[in-house]
């Protein structure tokens, strides 16, 4: 459904992303891994429209998103989280979800009803999202007062609030413990089971290899391998790439 | 086209470019402060003016000769710059730019009012140099006083470049403006760099104020607003954070201002200068030399 | 008595001015153009009544709409730049408007007199109130009626999704874009609303003083506009109101004995306040009313909005 076609992004002389092509299938969890600086986050930023690609296209169900503004892409069904969590700290937990209801059907609602009605943060849909992310008891707490783990959960719930078709997760387990990682894996699976396709960028190999249906590996902005977790782990190029960056090799083998 | 109109046009352009160096200096000052602090000091133009008044006070106190007046204007403005730093920037929260911005606006009003009270709002005579001298190039006259203004401003820029690119102090300043956290980790004290930058920018502002007053021959509180707005426009046109941009922007504003003065008269002049700003905002929001499209 | 009624009129128009900046500030934009929109409103409304003989109410509404339209047009180029650059752009716009009215001469013959803006002279005899026999307290009640309507509307807006969206954009533009908000639409929308309120305020101001001239609409007024909401705190509309009462009441009127030196205090007070309470008197996340009345975090104690809305 989501297809990247020879996507490139150059910053001056640096080729952060250099001709990546990927195709995500409906309802799968797709892992995108690679050493630091290999272009993973840049790829997400290109898909959501935060960056404009130097060359290449992004398509969703055959529709070209490349020229669309970010809010139009959200309406098409693309949602994301950030590596360094970006919540609206000045709003409550429920309000964070409320402002994010910008999906396709939500957009078609009556203008006045959509913008100028009070109390929408108590809607059943938001209540359900709060339950899903186990934040129900915190619904009226200022988002800036949450714990780190709660913030991560809220950010993922906020991404889901626009009823996306594809969810891009940028290192959702960064800074999380192993147990938290397992809980997160469960939540990602549940998300997939609701019919949302997931693109997962992650350093925690255990998580990626454990839940991904397919995995692609980036190095220096290029895709060096793609396949099932087992295939990728056996790939010689991948091992070489991770040997270049310390520590990672061990994780890869043990995972 | 009429020959005399062309001559008038070239003459206006030339005068404007020469005078534009004062805007360039102010623009550099804004840009320097923005560079190290990522903040806008709106009190800057007013501080420059106040410094110029300190120079004038010297003529009343002991009948100082013009060079001393100019020097005192520059130093006075530098000192006021440091005061502004302590009042508006040192103790306001770093991550809430609105606070320091509003504080600097408050400071602008405060300095303005102090100057108006101290001078009773009356314009004061300011020494100008080479007022009578002119160089004739065919039908174009180069005014001696404007040439002097140009010369002083260029020297000030040259000294600034020397400071920034040839001294340890300049190295520290550039380090802070590029990577504040890394610079702090390398043992550079950001407060000291900020202080020095405010002082340095203040001196540049004082020179600009002194030269503006010298070119006009009188000093009045109205100059502050002109310096602030035109200096800011120069910075926007050049690209916030870029010193060459500020220089080009300043010259452009000076030239445009004088040409519009010739074409549309003194009361409408500034409207067109501001339209020029909006043209730039629409077509090139990052400015001529801005790399990051106006993002701060 | 008339003195206090007059004072209440000043409070009223300045509250409108402050509220016009409040809406824009919620999106994190500092607009120094509010004095410009206020000026546009003042001249437009003045022209409507004094030159074309309209009733005051349609006159100020037209003034608001004209200001809003211009704010919307200015919003597009100005909001392409962010933060500090926007300050510069709006500052320049405000000055441009002032200079425009400095140069504007457009007079018509009415009842044997020539009325209308007359360049540096300003726009004299905007005498709708005295001509129609309004007494001072009529005018004061009228002004506060408008203020209450505008404040009520903004207070309501703050509780709707629109309010949350404005605050979200003000907090983090990148995140706001990533959740599908159209930044340009939100910011231009806020700017337009701010322009409308400033236009209303300016329109009323013109009629309370009967004579307006360009000098009034300078940087000082633009500073007042942003200073009220920032000093009061962006938590709610009441911060702006309290700041107006404090600055105009205490600083301008209460310290009359200080004579000319009072004007020094405004600048000094801003500097002091920003050092001591940078987030304003009532703070940034000031308690919205519900927390004042219904105690505790239990949200159902806020039945007004939820039930009425559904």
Q: What's the predicted TM-score (pTM) here?
A: 0.88
Q: What is the pLDDT of residue C292?
A: 43
| Nearest partner of C160 among C306, C287, C36, C18, judged by Cα | C306
ipTM at complex level: 0.89
pLDDT per position as a tens digit, C106-122: 988 888 888 889 988 99
**Closest CB to B105 among C80, C81, C223:** C223
CA dist A121 and A132 (Å) reads: 16
Structural tokens at position C306: 């939820």
3-state helix, strand, coil in chain C (%, to 5): 75, 5, 20
d(C-alpha C234, C-alpha A36), whole Å: 40
Instruction: Check whether A11 has a pLDDT greater than 70.
Output: yes
- For residues C256 and B145, the model is more confident at B145
Mutation choice for C interface testing from B102, B111, B249, B290 by most C CBs within 10 A: B102
Taking the domains of chain C in order of start, what are their residue ranges? 2-219
- Is pLDDT of A235 > 50? yes
Q: What is the CATH number of domain A2-77+164-254?
A: 3.40.50.300
Report CB contact under 8 Å: C91, B229: yes
Q: How far apart are the first and last CA of chain C?
A: 46
CA neighbor of C179 nearest in space, from A159, A243, A13, A106: A159
Domain ranges of chain B: 25-230
Residue C302: which pLDDT band, with cuts at 50, 70 and 90? very low
Q: How close C104 comes to chain A (CA, Å)?
A: 39
Average per-residue pLDDT in chain C? 87
Report the b/e string of B253-280 with b at 16+ CB within 10 A: bbbbbbbbbbeeeeeebbbbbbebbbeb
Residue B295: pLDDT band with limits 50, 70, 90: very low
Task: Quote the CA–CA distance of B200 and B33 in Å, as a whole number.
Answer: 9
Cβ pair B107:C263 closer than 8 A: no
Give C299's pLDDT tier (boundaries 50, 70, 90).
very low
pLDDT, averaged across chain A: 89
C297 and chain A: CB distance < 8 Å anywhere?
yes
Summarised one tens digit per residue, pLDDT across range C282-296 is 776 544 444 444 433
pLDDT for the residue numbered C188: 94
Maximum distance among all Cα pairs of chain A, rounded to whole angstroms: 58
Distance from CA of B285 to the nearest CA of C (A): 6
Looking at chain A, the domain(s) classified CATH 3.40.50.300 span 2-77+164-254
**C160 with A117: Cβ contact below 8 A:** yes
C96 contacts chain A (CB < 8 A):
no
Checking if the pLDDT of B56 tops 50, the result is yes
CB distance from A71 to chain C under 8 Å? yes
State the average pLDDT over residues C255-266: 77
Residues 6 or more apart in contact with residue C193 via CB below 8 angstroms: C23, C68
Please report, for residues A34, C172, C177, the alpha-carbon distance to residue A221 in angstroms, rounded to integers and kept in the order given. Answer: 9, 28, 25
Q: How far is CA C181 from CA A86, A99, C166, C204, in A?
A: 15, 8, 10, 35
Q: What residues does A169 pair with on adjacent strands? A: A200
- Lowest-confidence region among A147-161, B204-218, B268-282, C15-29: B268-282
Lowest-confidence region among B276-290, C78-92, C292-306: C292-306
């Amino acid at each position: 459904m989501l297809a990247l076609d020879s996507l490139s992004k150059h910053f001056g002389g640096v080729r952060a992303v250099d001709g990546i092509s990927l195709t995500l299938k409906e309802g799968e969890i797709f892992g995108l891994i690679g050493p630091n600086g290999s272009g993973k986050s840049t790829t997400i930023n290109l898909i959501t429209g935060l960056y404009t690609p130097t060359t290449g296209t992004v398509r969703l169900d055959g529709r070209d998103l490349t020229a669309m503004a970010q809010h139009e892409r959200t309406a098409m069904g693309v949602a994301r989280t950030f590596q360094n969590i970006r919540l609206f700290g000045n709003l409550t937990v429920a309000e964070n979800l409320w402002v994010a209801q910008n999906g396709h059907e939500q957009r078609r609602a009556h203008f006045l009803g959509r913008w100028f009605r009070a109390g929408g943060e108590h809607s059943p849909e938001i209540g359900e999202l709060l339950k899903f992310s186990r934040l129900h008891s915190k619904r009226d707490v200022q988002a800036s007062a949450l714990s780190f783990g709660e913030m991560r959960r809220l950010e993922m719930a906020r991404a889901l609030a626009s009823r996306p078709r594809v969810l891009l997760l940028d290192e959702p387990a960064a800074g999380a413990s192993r147990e938290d990682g397992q809980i997160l894996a469960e939540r990602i699976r549940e998300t997939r089971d609701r019919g949302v396709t997931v693109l997962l960028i992650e350093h925690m190999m255990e998580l990626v290899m454990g839940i991904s249906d397919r995995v692609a590996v980036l190095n220096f902005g290029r895709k060096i391998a793609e396949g099932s977790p087992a295939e990728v782990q056996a790939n010689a190029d991948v091992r070489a790439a991770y040997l270049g960056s310390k520590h990672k090799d061990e994780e890869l083998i043990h995972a | 086209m009429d020959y005399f109109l062309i001559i008038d046009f070239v003459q206006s352009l030339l005068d404007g470019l020469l005078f534009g160096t004062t805007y360039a200096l102010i623009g550099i000052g804004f840009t320097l402060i923005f560079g190290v602090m990522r903040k806008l000091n709106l009190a800057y133009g007013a501080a420059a003016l106040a410094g110029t008044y300190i120079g004038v006070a010297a003529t009343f106190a002991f009948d100082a000769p013009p060079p001393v007046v100019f020097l005192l204007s520059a130093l006075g403005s530098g000192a006021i710059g440091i005061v502004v730093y302590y009042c508006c920037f040192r103790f306001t929260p770093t991550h809430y730019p609105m606070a320091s911005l509003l504080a600097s606006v408050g400071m602008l009003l405060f300095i303005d009012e102090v100057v108006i009270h101290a001078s009773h709002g009356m314009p004061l005579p300011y020494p100008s140099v080479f007022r009578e001298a002119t160089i004739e190039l065919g039908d174009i006259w180069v005014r001696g006083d404007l040439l002097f203004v140009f010369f002083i401003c260029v020297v000030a820029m040259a000294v600034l470049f020397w400071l920034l690119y040839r001294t340890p102090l300049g190295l520290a300043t550039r380090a802070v403006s590029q990577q504040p956290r890394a610079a702090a980790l390398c043992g550079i004290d950001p407060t000291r760099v900020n202080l020095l930058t405010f002082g340095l920018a203040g001196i540049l502002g004082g020179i600009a104020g002194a030269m503006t007053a010298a070119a006009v021959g009188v000093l009045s509180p109205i100059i502050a607003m002109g310096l602030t707005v035109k200096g800011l426009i120069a910075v926007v046109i050049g690209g916030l954070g870029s010193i060459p941009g500020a220089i080009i922007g300043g010259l452009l504003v000076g030239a445009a201002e004088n040409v519009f003065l010739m074409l549309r008269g003194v009361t409408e002049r500034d409207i067109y200068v501001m339209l020029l700003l909006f043209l730039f905002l629409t077509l090139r929001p990052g400015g001529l030399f801005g790399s990051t499209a106006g993002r701060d | 008595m008339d003195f206090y009624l007059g004072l209440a009129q000043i409070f009223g128009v300045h509250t409108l001015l402050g509220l016009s900046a409040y809406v824009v500030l919620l999106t994190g934009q500092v607009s120094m153009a509010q004095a410009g929109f206020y000026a546009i409103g003042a001249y437009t409304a003045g022209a409507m009544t004094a030159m074309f003989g309209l009733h005051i109410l349609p006159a100020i509404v037209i003034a608001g709409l004209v200001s809003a339209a211009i704010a919307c047009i200015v919003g597009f180029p100005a909001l392409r730049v962010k933060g500090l650059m926007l300050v510069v752009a709006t500052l320049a716009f405000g000055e441009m408007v002032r200079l425009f009215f400095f140069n504007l001469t457009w007079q018509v013959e009415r009842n044997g007199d020539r009325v209308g803006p007359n360049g540096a002279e300003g726009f004299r005899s905007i005498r709708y109130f005295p001509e129609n026999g309004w007494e001072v307290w009529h005018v004061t009640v009228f002004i506060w009626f408008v203020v209450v309507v505008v404040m009520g509307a903004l207070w309501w807006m703050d509780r709707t999704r629109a309010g949350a969206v404005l605050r979200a954009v003000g907090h983090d533009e990148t995140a706001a874009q990533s959740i599908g908000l159209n930044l340009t639409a939100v910011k231009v929308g806020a700017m337009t609303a701010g322009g409308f309120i400033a236009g209303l305020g300016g329109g009323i101001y013109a009629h309370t003083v009967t004579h307006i001239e360009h000098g009034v609409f300078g940087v000082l007024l633009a500073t007042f506009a942003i200073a009220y909401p920032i000093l009061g705190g962006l938590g709610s509309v009441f911060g702006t109101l309290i700041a107006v009462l404090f600055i105009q009441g205490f600083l301008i009127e209460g310290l009359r004995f200080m004579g000319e030196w009072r004007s020094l205090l405004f600048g000094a007070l801003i500097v002091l306040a920003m050092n001591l309470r940078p987030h304003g008197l009532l703070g940034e996340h000031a308690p919205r009313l519900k927390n004042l009345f219904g105690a505790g975090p239990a949200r159902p104690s806020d039945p007004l909005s939820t039930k009425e809305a559904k």
